């Protein structure tokens, strides 16, 4: 399928590993240019070496307001066609394990910076009457995951914002969607597996098997497969899809609208 994103420009946050890296690489393989943000310079340098002029980056924590400013300065007057908004989450905790500073930090890590980045990009999208905004959240917004109360709560706030924003921006040719991945082979799942292993006094491998068995397919997802869906949602081909939260969870969501 021709996605019509060759020579388009995208911002990808959390681009050094996991879903962010998979989406960034997929975009560049289709001929797009990526402006990336991530904390690990060595991994960003690898992508720069491979993709050269199609890859520009800012090193830093995207949840920091100063780093948001740096990526906006980096793109300058470049016309941006879409943004993949993604970063890691707070520690795995049950509600009774949390303290108020945990909730304050979760707000900073999961909501505030996304509002900031979106607000800075939207005027440009409105001016060009085109844009793709794609948030990467979690399937826990549709079905809570054990020990993820901080992530679930604040990611649901992002989903609410995205839905409202999609309605406000639709007439400008701007779409806003959310990808909600379940258990995938990324570093993020390891903290959940480790937490389960410690709480239930079982081995890491046994805990991992339990997570795998929660999917109807019986295995963890591949970030590259999710990236292919993300690529389509970031392309002109998805012009009639907006305001959606799409779970990619191997059938693990039990609800009718999972």
What strand order describes the sheet that includes 82-85?
Answer: 55-59, 33-38, 9-13, 82-85, 131-136, 174-181, 245-248
Q: pLDDT tens digit string along 139-176?
A: 999 999 888 999 999 999 999 999 999 999 999 999 99
- Is a pLDDT exceeding 90 seen at residue 237? yes
Q: pLDDT tens digit string along 103-126?
A: 999 999 999 999 999 999 999 999
Q: What is the mean pLDDT of residues 188-212?
A: 83
214 falls in which pLDDT band (50, 70, 90)? confident
Of the listed ranges 32-36, 187-191, 203-207, the least confidently predicted one is 187-191
Which domains, ranges and CATH numbers included, belong to the chain?
9-182+222-247 (3.40.50.720), 185-220 (no CATH)
Question: What pLDDT, on a 0 to 100 scale, did the predictor assign at position 134?
Answer: 98
Q: What is the mean pLDDT of residues 234-242?
A: 98
Question: What pLDDT, on a 0 to 100 scale, did the predictor assign at position 190?
Answer: 80
Question: What pLDDT, on a 0 to 100 scale, did the predictor assign at position 9?
Answer: 98
Among 219, 208, 235, 239, residue whose Cα is nearest residue 84: 235
DSSP states of 4-39: --TT-EEEEESTTSHHHHHHHHHHHHTT-EEEEEES
């Amino acid at each position: 399928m021709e996605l019509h994103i060759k020579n388009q420009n995208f911002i990808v946050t959390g681009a050094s590993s996991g879903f962010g890296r998979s989406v960034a690489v997929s975009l560049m393989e289709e001929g797009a240019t990526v402006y990336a943000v991530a904390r690990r310079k060595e991994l960003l340098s690898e992508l720069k070496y491979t993709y050269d002029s199609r890859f520009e980056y800012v090193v830093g924590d995207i949840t920091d307001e100063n780093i948001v400013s740096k990526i906006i300065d980096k793109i300058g007057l470049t016309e941006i066609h879409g943004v993949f908004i993604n970063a890691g989450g707070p520690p795995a905790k049950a509600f009774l394990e949390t303290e108020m500073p945990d909730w304050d930090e979760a707000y900073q890590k999961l909501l505030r910076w996304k509002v900031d980045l979106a607000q800075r990009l939207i005027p440009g999208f409105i001016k060009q009457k085109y844009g793709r905004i794609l948030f990467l959240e979690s399937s826990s917004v549709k079905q809570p995951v054990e020990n993820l109360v901080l992530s679930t709560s604040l990611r649901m706030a992002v989903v609410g914002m995205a839905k409202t924003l999609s309605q406000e921006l639709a007439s400008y040719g701007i779409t806003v969607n959310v990808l909600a991945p379940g258990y995938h082979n990324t570093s993020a799942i390891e903290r959940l597996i480790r937490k389960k292993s410690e709480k239930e006094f079982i081995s890491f491998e046994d805990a991992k098997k339990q997570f795998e068995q929660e999917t109807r397919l019986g295995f963890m997802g591949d970030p590259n497969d999710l990236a292919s869906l993300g690529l389509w949602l970031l392309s002109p081909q998805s012009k009639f899809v907006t305001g959606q939260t799409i779970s990619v969870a191997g059938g693990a969501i039990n609800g009718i609208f999972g």
